[in-house]
Amino acid sequence: MECTLLGSGGMMPLPHRFLTALMVRLNGVSYLFDAGEGAQINLKRGGLGIKSLSVICVSHLHADHCLGIPGLLMLRSQVPDPGPLVILGPAGIKEFISQVQRTLDFFINYSIRFVEWDERAPETAYEDEQVRIRWAPLKHTTTCVGYRLEEHPRPGRFDVKAARTLGVPEGRLWGKLQRGEPVTLDHGGVIHPRQVLGPGRPGRSICYAVDTAVTKALYSLCRDVDMAFLDGMFHPLEQEEAVRKAHMTVDDAARVANRAGAKRVVLVH
């Protein structure tokens, strides 16, 4: 799992600090969390690719978190057969994107499925063969949603020595065994994954929760994650302003991550 911050700033993009956006890549599939103005620039700079983008998770409808989405949608339309896209977010995200597309009349060559959060929404917002994405409401000046991406349990580590001893040639068959599929050798023998894989491993997890005051849902989203990306907009001496604007101070964010058992925390915004 690879996590790349396309930006970590807030309010307005700066020449050397773009607005907060997080790209998570796993086995050739990309999951994007927020996209402020100019998100596509660092996407291109990083050589991350746009065709692999499968899901966009939007925290809230403030400009510095969503104005980059139309540009990304147009960029994705420039590649052949990009496949469907899912956009998760608060109520209003579908109307925002649809209105911009109608007004600008830009071309999209793929389907978009919108899933909007409301109080009746299930805990799981999205799931595919690799991950599950959970969401929960945060506490901001407008409806804001936090996310937790959980990788499904992984197979055990591949034992190269055992595979060679069993006569499995390196290459395609190793990949099938690592995916949990049995393989048949040229002489007809069948090798099962359990013969070359160690004990199963838990999936990795991340939390993305920005633009929020401390709230109970944060602890659930951060619980024992491998990495938490949290709002740390204000210095501790700016506590009153943080409360007024419904943000966290850096020590608020650090305290939440520590109490929730997050292994690492990255402060953004």
Give CA–CA dist 190/179, Å, rounded.
Answer: 15
Give CA–CA dist 167/162, Å, rounded.
Answer: 9
22 is written with which tokens? 């997080």
Q: Give percent helix, percent strand, percent coil of the chain, each to the nearest 5.
A: 30, 30, 45
11 is written with which tokens? 């309010």
Which residue in the list 64, 211, 231, 252 is annotated as catalytic?
64
CA distances from 237 to 4, 145, 249 (A): 30, 26, 9
Please say whether the beta carbons of 58 and 40 come within 8 A. no
34 is catalytic: no
Give CA–CA dist 191/62, Å, rounded.
Answer: 54
What type of residue is 19?
L
Only one residue has tokens 């951060």, namely 222
Give CA–CA dist 106/50, Å, rounded.
Answer: 17
Give CA–CA dist 256/236, Å, rounded.
Answer: 14
Q: Which residues are catalytic?
A: 64
